[in-house]
Structure 1
């Protein structure tokens, strides 16, 4: 998959998902709320800008906007971005160009200048790419952060159900996993700890935590790495 072009079938998959899966992804995960509270408590109204990679229909943008941050988001799905804007409008949250900047595009070529953001976040979005695209996206995240800016990511780990299903196209990356939380994805990458240290090695500091939960009566294991990195 070309990291600078959005594969048509992949784009269609996400467009259809967001258009048909009502009520999905309505609220931010507690790990993101904790990250923002720990690192930016009381600073929301200081004009801080936060970018979300793979914002989808905007649950995290909604939370950040409610807290007073200026927000930006990028996704390959125009449907998802329309839903995100409509949600903010419905709650009378600011959607002018100073407070909200939504772009259809590819993570590996972010359409913002160097040092544009105080924080960049992603929640289970970066994984849906081959490793080359992930590397380029992390380099773009680093570029778009201000000096001292923070990144937060919630990334699927190898312990997740389905990480050994589908077709392996490179270490850790699967095409069409057929079970677990990533079932149906054209591409899914499952990270390990050593790999994360290597991928984020260009940041000044790095913190890696993890959470494991089960679903569907403990039939499904969902393992997430929680990555915090400072430029």
Structure 2
């Protein structure tokens, strides 16, 4: 059994690095999420050019954005994720700038992107870690930039299970999946507070594939005067 991480740091990529090594593990994460695909019309309307797929997994959204005509970068802390994303991009015949790096220290300069996607990513860790991930998104976005993310809701059936390693953050020592690593859950008020000074444009709380797997689905916009300092 994997030793549980109770220090609140972001370590779930260790689990996913193993998942991405198998075809069965990659299969459930190879299809573009419709919620992400539906955002393309807005991105084109906003004249978005440079996009980042943050914690890109096996590259499904990065390849989708590149095929949709955007200049796309993608980053993940998992070596295997980047290897598989490289294969996916080559098979699709598109260019994606792929890099290995943590969400806490993104390997990009300030004010570099028009849009960032963080799908099932930044809630890995305790509240302080999550705030750090948001600050990095703000830093690399241009003023007025958009970012789209999912966050674990407190309606999620895993909220409150296991050991609380910080306010709203839990580890499940007996888990056989990534819940052995810290996961942070929030309500609507904290969702808004963590993402300040960005403005919430859209949000809904819905289940993913499993019953009770509620996640916030959000679209935020940085203020024009904020710049990339977070």
- TM score, norm. by length of structure 1: 0.84
Deviation string, structure 1 residues 56-98 (Cα, Å, up to 9, x no partner): 101110110110111111111110111011011012112xxxx
1:24 offset after TM fit, Å? Answer: 2.3
Aligned to 1:97: none
Provide the secondary structure at the position in 2 that maps to 1:56.
coil
Aligned to 2:39: 35
Aligned to 1:53: 54
Provide the secondary structure at the position in 2 that maps to 1:113.
coil
Q: Write the distance in 2 (CA, Å) between the matches of 1:147 and 1:185.
A: 37
Provide the secondary structure at the position in 2 that maps to 1:109.
coil
Cα RMSD of the aligned pairs, angstroms, is: 2.3
* Mapping 1:1-231, distance limit 5 Å: 1=7, 7=11, 10-20=12-22, 21-41=25-45, 43=47, 48-94=49-95, 100-176=96-172, 184-203=179-198, 205-213=199-207, 215=209, 220-231=211-222
In the superposition, relative to structure 1, how do residues 226 and 66 fare at CA in structure 2: closer, same or farther (>3 Å)? same
1:43 offset after TM fit, Å? Answer: 4.4
Q: Write the distance in 1 (CA, Å) between the matches of 2:136 and 2:42.
A: 24
- In structure 2, list runs of 5 or more residues that go unmatched: 1-6, 223-230
Please tell me whether the aligned partners of residues 177 and 188 of structure 1 are also in contact (alpha carbons under 8 angstroms). Answer: no
Q: Write the distance in 2 (CA, Å) between the matches of 1:59 and 1:24.
A: 11
- TM score, norm. by length of structure 2: 0.84
Q: Write the distance in 2 (CA, Å) between the matches of 1:15 and 1:142.
A: 26
Please tell me whether the aligned partners of residues 50 and 69 of structure 1 are also in contact (alpha carbons under 8 angstroms). Answer: yes
1:142 offset after TM fit, Å? Answer: 0.7
1:19 offset after TM fit, Å? Answer: 1.0
1:35 offset after TM fit, Å? Answer: 2.1
Q: Write the distance in 2 (CA, Å) between the matches of 1:29 and 1:177.
A: 30
Which structure's relative contact order is higher, taking Cα pairs within 8 Å and 6+ residues apart?
2
Provide the secondary structure at the position in 1 that maps to 2:183.
strand
- In structure 1, list runs of 5 or more residues that go unmatched: 95-99
In the superposition, relative to structure 1, how do residues 178 and 78 fare at CA in structure 2: closer, same or farther (>3 Å)? same
Equivalences, count:
214
In the superposition, relative to structure 1, how do residues 187 and 77 fare at CA in structure 2: closer, same or farther (>3 Å)? same
